[in-house]
Amino acid sequence: MRVLVVTAVPVERDAVTRAFGGGTEVLALPGAELHRTGAFDVLAGGVGPAAAAASTAFALASASPAAAPSPYGLVVSAGIGGGFAPAAPLGSLVVASAIVAADLGAETPDGFAPVTALGFGRDRFTPPPALVREVASATGAAPGPVLTVSTVTGTAERAAALRAAHPGALAEAMEGFGVAEAAERAGVPVLELRAVSNAVGPRDRAAWRIGDALAALTEAFGKTAPVLEGWHRHDH
């Protein structure tokens, strides 16, 4: 089974590929590079849900003729992100039990209404529960909802609103839901794995631990790779 891993930026992509050792083959896609190591293809697909969805969909389509099933058995959205303290401290890992579009919807006099409350679309995807449990066990990652936002949280008020709307949410990032949308359309399961680089809330760059989070991401994929390689879609 091949696994497509989609990050936002090259530094995240490189953190993932470092987990697999040497021997990376670089394949050219229009506007992007696919870094192939063993069973893993790793793509820096861009920042935000739209770029992530487009890049993931293009990679899936490029790898599979229209009449053939996808060669990928799994798509993983991966990278660093913000953690909701104290459940997801800096340097920790989070694996999504649900991938949630936290700001897809409408503002109303009664507050934010998700797109589902408007009568169309969807606002979450559920990764395979058994795979979430296995990855959590292998890496020590905390399982819980990961929010996808188009605007990163920068205030305590917004962080509190997100926590109230999504009890139990552990982290926020900008790409997971876009990756999941593309994977769903290709009929491929999706997973999201995040290393926490900063706390969700007021933006204090001096407190960010990007290097630590990237190192944690590399370590996580080193432990996750055997799980993903041995996983089969019928395992639930």
Give tens-digit pLDDT for 145-190. 999 999 999 999 999 999 999 999 999 999 999 999 999 999 999 9
Contact indicator for 219, 213 with CB cutoff of 8 Å: no
pLDDT at residue 113 in the model: 84
| Averaged pLDDT, 49-64 | 90
At 24, phi and psi to the nearest 5? -80, 130
pLDDT at residue 63 in the model: 73
Element (H, E) at 74: strand 72-83
Quote the tokens at residue 53.
């969805």
Rounded CA-CA distance 28/59 in Å is 11
Residue 67 pLDDT > 50, yes or no? Answer: no
| Averaged pLDDT, 213-235 | 89
- The per-residue pLDDT of the chain, averaged, comes to 92
Fold of 2-230: Rossmann fold (3.40.50)
Q: Tell me the whole-structure pTM to 2 decimals.
A: 0.93
For 100-163, the three-class secondary structure string (H helix, E strand, C coil) is EECCCEEEECCEEEEHHHHCCCCCEECCCHHHHHHHHHHHCCEEEEEEECCCCCCCHHHHHHHH
Of 25-34, 59-68, 162-171, 221-230, minimum mean pLDDT range: 59-68
pLDDT at residue 232 in the model: 77
Domain boundaries, given as residue ranges, for the chain: 2-230
